[in-house]
Structure 1
């Protein structure tokens, strides 16, 4: 790495002053059609093949982590029918998988900042694929819990966070669009894997349907790993948990708001199928269609609102507004009584949910003051939200049980927590604007 001094009368042997005009050349600038002596260290490229290509490995990581996890409904139905287990017991497999994806993401985010994103991506991919093949061989509840719940959950957390944080380091002005495009992987994965399992199981059997998912994942992981090119950033020594982040009041309030939102967000996705079966009277097989519809509609919503966030509104505002709309949709769930209502609701719900989830990483990255801590700060936000996703479904289940199987109080609970959380998010946006105005006046 070269150092070029543009200040007169300074010597290259002198230490660099905080406000000097010294420009540090980035090694990744040589891969772009950009003069290498004009780009400061850690300044995002915001375009070019190198930057945009990083969306592909991140998209694949989201497919194999969030996509496989959020498409758990098809597995829930199969395990319930073949193992004759209570739905609540089976749901712990999916809940633990998503929880570990969040929690391990906090650790992998810090390790990614320390310079190990490719190692984490490879290890995570191997664990995800190993979990798929072990699931295909599992015959008991505990075997499935270990393979699909723990093994895939840990692998997913190791894989997705470094790839997502890497995309965020390449962009600033177009960050929301870029991150939302890689976030589409959770939607495409939640369509691909459940569809394969649902439609191949009657033809080749469940074990081979899951193995086919594993073979496809091998090809995807190899392609993603080949394209993953982490930036050579200045590494900032930091502990696993950068507690100094919580001195940033907007960031702290943002994580509180996100916790409340995620407390009910995945809960709605998990229980919407049960509601369709128990309250609307749809068949088990038809109720799975809502998973596919939700994720298919979510795909165009993610980049659309990512573009709007970059050009017009800002990621924190657009995230808060979409979550507010999601809270209103939770209250609107109360008015769903017929089959046609269910399909219409699923379409709107999928669009709003995709818009909200697709912008979360970009919104969290808005509070990062040092790009070298991108993975750490985003990872901590994800880790805290993981506890919300773990405790949310049992809480809603307890409310439904206490209501004699009726959903209305659970729907009110979900709407209330999401609306409160989104209101807090919108307040953090105002604090950020006020802080930036004060900084510009200094």
Structure 2
């Protein structure tokens, strides 16, 4: 990924796994002023993120609904649906990166759109757990993982001076989707039922992606396909032997054990621990997603001032403190204040980490490979996070403290690893300045 090495890059969640320098030059030439056309392309990526990451960030309201309507299925088993969806979404960029490198952008956008919409529509017909797993976990997860990579890649290559702001805008579609989907679902569920409420979400997803493709595809047809030479490697074993990069992957693993757990269980905690109504429990997830918007903007301002490694350490440490503080929440107003702080300080973690990868690469040709490896470490954390955490929850007694301590400890462990990465990069910089 030739342009990821911009240190002010604010890429959200999983950035494009790789890119092509020729493609970047062509797109920069087409948008020298980063004007209307470029921002329309960012709008297309915004809509893609709303339909993919936004849908995942609202899994908490599905988790709570399934717990009430599938009484024979345990909480930890239900959590695997959102876990599979999240892992496939994160890992999608690792697999589609080489395909994107070779210029098959249109194919990725079409296939991803079909699978995502098809999965949501099939979910409306599901009545058993395994049907839900296939439709929501696997189909939506694979489609979303295929879809978002080319959209954000084109934004990252189109913008140069204002790339951090443009990518922050595009990825804020996650928060908008996280606000829109729960509101539509909660409003419609009592009147039209689960099947039609989900179908309407499917139509909404189709509309978002149809408009996005109409904006993105005219630009996607421009780059020259890179069919010469082999695609980049997916794995570089020697990278894990480098202390800074190896510890950084460990930091992501620990952080992402904790990262998605609150989004999955905020409605469940509000309903079963604090006695909130199911409708208000869903709206709490909306509030959390809304709070992530200023959090992402905060990351854009912090990166040029504190640096990406130091900024990520600081936000991870604060997030760990907040997750520990969750154990002290005993009232609904206190919980409402807590979720706002969590959304504000934890959301920037997903903005910081892609910008660190170029600093841990000996050459720009390895950025894509190491980005995929780091994302794989984060995905492994997601695999463990929600299922293990749900095992520690007792809905009958309203006991959540074991889960809260676990994710707080994991976030703190990730912060500790990130402190080492920060120190290593500062030492590397000091050595470079000394030689200069």
Pick the aligned partner of 1:305 from 299, 310, 327: 299
* Distance in 1 of aligned mates of 2:326 and 2:246: 30
Residue 93 (1) aligns with residue 81 (2): yes
Pick the aligned partner of 1:422 from 415, 429, 435: 415
CA shift, 1:366, in A, is 4.7
Q: Tell me if structure 2 keeps the 8 A contact 1:161–1:375.
A: no
Equivalent residue, structure 1, for 2:30:
31
Equivalent residue, structure 2, for 1:5:
none
By relative contact order (CA 8 Å, sep 6+), the higher-ranking structure is 2
Pick the aligned partner of 2:67 from 75, 80, 84: 80
Q: In terms of mean alpha carbon deviation, does 171-180 or 144-153 score higher? A: 171-180
CA RMSD of aligned residues (A): 3.0
Q: Tell me if structure 2 keeps the 8 A contact 1:177–1:307.
A: no
CA shift, 1:282, in A, is 1.9
What SS does the aligned partner of 1:211 have?
Answer: helix
Gaps of 5+ in 2: 1-21
* Distance in 2 of aligned mates of 1:179 and 1:29: 15
What SS does the aligned partner of 1:350 have?
Answer: helix
Pick the aligned partner of 1:108 from 81, 96, 103: 96
Aligned pairs for 1:38-437 (under 5 A) are: 47-49=34-36, 51-84=38-71, 85-171=73-159, 174-228=162-216, 229=219, 237-243=231-237, 245-246=239-240, 248-309=242-303, 311-364=304-357, 366-367=359-360, 374-400=367-393, 406-437=399-430
Q: Tell me if structure 2 keeps the 8 A contact 1:242–1:376.
A: yes
Aligned pair in 2 of structure 1 residues 272, 211: CA closer, same or farther (>3 Å)?
closer
Q: Deviations over 1:233-279 (max 9, x none)?
A: 97774223344544554333222101100111212322333222232
* Distance in 1 of aligned mates of 2:23 and 2:191: 59
Q: Tell me if structure 2 keeps the 8 A contact 1:26–1:232.
A: no
* Distance in 1 of aligned mates of 2:325 and 2:145: 33
CA shift, 1:403, in A, is 12
Aligned pair in 2 of structure 1 residues 259, 54: CA closer, same or farther (>3 Å)?
farther
Q: Tell me if structure 2 keeps the 8 A contact 1:257–1:422.
A: yes
**Structure number with larger C-alpha Rg:** 1
Q: Tell me if structure 1 keeps the 8 A contact 2:179–2:289.
A: yes
Q: Deviations over 1:109-166 (max 9, x none)?
A: 3332343333222211211001011111222222111111110011111112333344
Equivalent residue, structure 2, for 1:41:
none
Aligned pair in 2 of structure 1 residues 395, 428: CA closer, same or farther (>3 Å)?
same
What SS does the aligned partner of 2:260 have?
Answer: helix
Q: Deviations over 1:328-384 (max 9, x none)?
A: 101111211112111111111121122223333334455456556554432332222
CA shift, 1:289, in A, is 1.8
TM-score, normalised with respect to structure 2: 0.83
* Distance in 2 of aligned mates of 1:242 and 1:51: 34
Q: Tell me if structure 2 keeps the 8 A contact 1:162–1:375.
A: no
* Distance in 1 of aligned mates of 2:239 and 2:166: 24
Aligned pair in 2 of structure 1 residues 232, 306: CA closer, same or farther (>3 Å)?
farther
* Distance in 1 of aligned mates of 2:343 and 2:237: 35
Tell me how many residue pairs correspond in the alignment: 407
Equivalent residue, structure 2, for 1:20:
none
* Distance in 2 of aligned mates of 1:257 and 1:333: 22
